[in-house]
Amino acid sequence: MSDIKRRTLLAGFAAFGAGACTEIGQTDTAGDLFDTAEDWHRLAHRALAGRQRLAPEYAPEDRSPDVKGNGSITVETEEYRQALSEGFASWRLAVTGLVAQPLSLSLEELRALPQRTQITRHDCVEGWSAIAEWKGPQLSALLDQAKIRPEANFIVFRCADTLYGEPYYESVDLVDAYHEQTIIAHELNGAPLPEKNGAPLRMRIERQLGYKHAKYLTAIEAVASFDDIGKGKGGFWEDEYDYQWYAGI
Amino acid sequence: MKKRHALSTRLWHWINAAALIVLFMSGLNISNAHRYLYWGDYGYDPADAWTAVMRFPAWATLPGYYDLAAARDWHSLAAWVFALALLAIWVAMLVNRHFACDVMTAPGEWKTSALKQAFLDHLRGKFAGHGSKYNPLQKITYGLVFGVLLPMMVVTGLAISPGIEPAAPWLIDGLGGRQSARSLHFLFAWALFAFFVVHIVMVLLSKPLRQVWGMIAGGQEDHVDE
């Protein structure tokens, strides 16, 4: 057999196998298997790391020159342009849903809360990483202040931006919501959060990939389940592109 | 008569082959999401990359079109099969002494003369070991695959996962940072691919049907007429 023929044959086999797998991957059974594998990874990570083990924190000199802006890098609404030009003086963050005491906080009020400053690494699902210093109040402080109700199981993050025409949102469970490093960042490397990184507020969910770290944050909502939110999968990327809800891998 | 390949070896061989193919092809799809590799902890700017890898064509990836989420689904599922099967075969090889008897080298097999002899035998198409199942080159190769390449795929894969790092920060540090771990994951994957190619060529050159059937049904021990 000539070399060309053999290579074509090999490529053919690969393509046939991959084609079959591509098809299999779209079945319900495969979907269930993928979900089970994801659950096992999450449970294994939690079993190994416990609920509160910290992501590594770095020294100032370990920081990368910048943090790449990815996904939405601006918000194309009149209100946002206006808010940006005013330095977000009238921006409010709502804390709603299954809470006894709903809140609406200004940036000033958020800055008056106890702050956590952390130099952490941002890992994008695409594969790249950046290291930067983030500062803001812990999410747990807000949830305590709002008196989160016992029936709440997840925290949903609402955002001002849309991506490919759909509103961006994300969610985490209470383990990550109450994690010590889960903060609402308003500063990046000592300066107000830049527009491309989610000004004026973004989440830091340090033990998961970047798409969980919702930017342009407008509201934090405690819910029992996210079945009725968006398309029911717990986030923009999950709804629109079947990304994994647990992004610890 | 004793089987040439134990049942555990045969089962693992095919399960591992399937898992590796899925991992490799879905991995190429994931690589297409950001084709640049870095050393150290961070890296996002292609200008800082030590290499930019090619965009892998659709026929080489799983699924057969660019889909990061579906590729990650396949990769995370096959990772469990691959890692648990690797653990199982290591236990089996130690218990049934396959490793000690057939893979572990004796000091004499590292002598230049022995390696040269095995190399010359390969050139002449003679692949049988002298008085043992595998020749020194095979033993060293299988030792590297079992002892280094396969385990390092698991180790570097774990190190890239942000959910693992809080439990084992030393793992990422030991590999030189997350982006180094990612680069190593890629390099070890291609080292395994190189092994795969050589492995297939060797099978094709040495009674391929008998070899493949041996890995399915077990085959029979070679008679050593010496």
Within 8 A of B76 by CB-CB distance, chain A residues are 34, 37-38, 41, 244, 249
Render pLDDT for B141-183 as a digit per residue (tens, 0 to 9).
999 999 999 999 999 999 999 999 999 999 999 999 999 999 9
Query: Is the previous residue joined to A200 through a cis bond, with omega within 30 degrees of 0?
Result: yes
Contact A60, A133 (CB under 8 A): yes
Q: Which of A249, A8, A19 is nearest to B65 (CA)?
A: A19
Within 8 A of B167 by CB-CB distance, chain A residues are 45, 48-50, 53
Contacts of A238 (CB under 8 A, 6+ apart): A244, A245
Q: Of the candidates A14, A45, A131, which has its C-beta nearest B41's C-beta? A: A131
- pLDDT at position A16 is 67
Render pLDDT for B26-44 as a digit per residue (tens, 0 to 9).
999 999 999 999 999 999 9
Contact B61, B32 (CB under 8 A): yes
Task: Give the integer Cα–Cα distance in Å for B201 and B4.
Answer: 20
Mean pLDDT to the nearest integer, B99-127:
86
Closest Cα of chain A to B218: distance in Å? 25
The fraction of chain A above a pLDDT of 90, given in percent, is 87
Within 8 A of B164 by CB-CB distance, chain A residues are 45, 48-49, 248
Using the Cβ of A130 and the Cβ atoms of chain B, whether some distance falls under 8 Å is answered with yes
- pLDDT at position A6 is 58
Residue B224 has pLDDT above 50, yes or no: no
Q: What ipTM was estimated for this complex?
A: 0.91
A33–B34 CB contact, under 8 Å: no
**Residues of A (143-202) whose Cβ lies below 8 Å from B:** none
Task: Give the integer Cα–Cα distance in Å for A240 and B5.
Answer: 48
Task: Give the integer Cα–Cα distance in Å for B147 and B143.
Answer: 6
Angle (CA) A159 A52 A154, round 5°: 35
Q: Of the candidates B43, B77, B166, which has its C-beta nearest A54's C-beta? A: B166
A208–B162 CB contact, under 8 Å: yes
- pLDDT at position A39 is 95
**Residues of A (44-103) whose Cβ lies below 8 Å from B:** 45, 48-50, 53-56, 58, 62, 64-68
Render pLDDT for B54-94 as a digit per residue (tens, 0 to 9).
999 999 999 999 999 999 999 999 999 999 999 999 999 99
Interface of B with A (CB under 8 A): 21-22, 25, 30-31, 33-34, 36, 38, 41-45, 59-65, 68-70, 72-74, 76-77, 79-80, 161-169, 172, 178-179, 182
Residue A4 has pLDDT above 60, yes or no: no
Q: CA B96 → CA A115, B90, B92, B138, distances in Å?
A: 58, 10, 6, 19
Q: CA B57 → CA B26, B99, B184, B187, B222, distances in Å?
A: 12, 38, 22, 19, 43
Task: Give the integer Cα–Cα distance in Å for A143 and A67.
Answer: 28
The phi and psi torsions of B158 (rounded to 5 degrees) equal -60, -40
Within 8 A of B60 by CB-CB distance, chain A residues are 14, 18
Contact A114, A46 (CB under 8 A): no
Within 8 A of A25 by CB-CB distance, chain B residues are 62-63, 70, 73-74
**Which token pair is B154?**
């698991």
Within 8 A of B163 by CB-CB distance, chain A residues are 41-42, 45, 49, 207-208, 246, 248-249
Contact A125, A211 (CB under 8 A): yes
Kindly identify which residue of chain A lies nearest to residue B75, measuring between CA atoms. Answer: A34
B169–A56 CB contact, under 8 Å: yes
- The single residue listed with the structure tokens 């106890």 is A114
Identify the residue with better confidence: B66 or B116. Answer: B66
- pLDDT at position A10 is 58
Using the Cβ of A39 and the Cβ atoms of chain B, whether some distance falls under 8 Å is answered with no
Which pLDDT band, with edges at 50, 70 and 90, does A1 fall under?
Answer: very low
Radius of gyration, CA atoms only, chain B: 20
Kindly identify which residue of chain A lies nearest to residue B38, measuring between CA atoms. Answer: A128
B43–A241 CB contact, under 8 Å: no
Contact A188, A133 (CB under 8 A): yes
